[in-house]
Amino acid sequence: MKANKLFTLASALTIALASTNLAAYTSTQTLNVSSADSGFLYQTLVKHSDSLKISYVKEEKNIQCWIERTHKGVEQSSTPVNVKPNKFSVKPLSACLSRKQAMEWLSKR
């Protein structure tokens, strides 16, 4: 009887720890963008945005990221993309936002 209680307690602790680790691993993080990492297009986007944030979730081998922008009170969000960690660490804005999307947002200023 005592062994069953210990086994049940150990199992519950293992599940709780696994759930905690998974939640920490998949939580969304954000970076505020105050300068562009590459190119005139992205510098212009930063300049013509009230706020620009990179939201991302670290996954096993990739980073899923998207851009959240506020311009003249209108909130915009890009489609999430999966990028390699090395690309994200060097140029996060251009890794997470396509040139096409950046140009579309700038055309509506």
Q: Where are the domains of the chain?
A: 27-107
Buried residues in 43-64 as b, exposed as e (16+ CB within 10 A): eebeeebeebbbbbbbeeeebb
- Which pTM value belongs to this model? 0.71
12-63, pLDDT tens digit by residue? 323 332 333 444 456 889 888 877 666 789 999 999 999 999 999 999 899 9
Q: Indicate the pLDDT class of residue 10, thresholds 50, 70 and 90.
A: very low
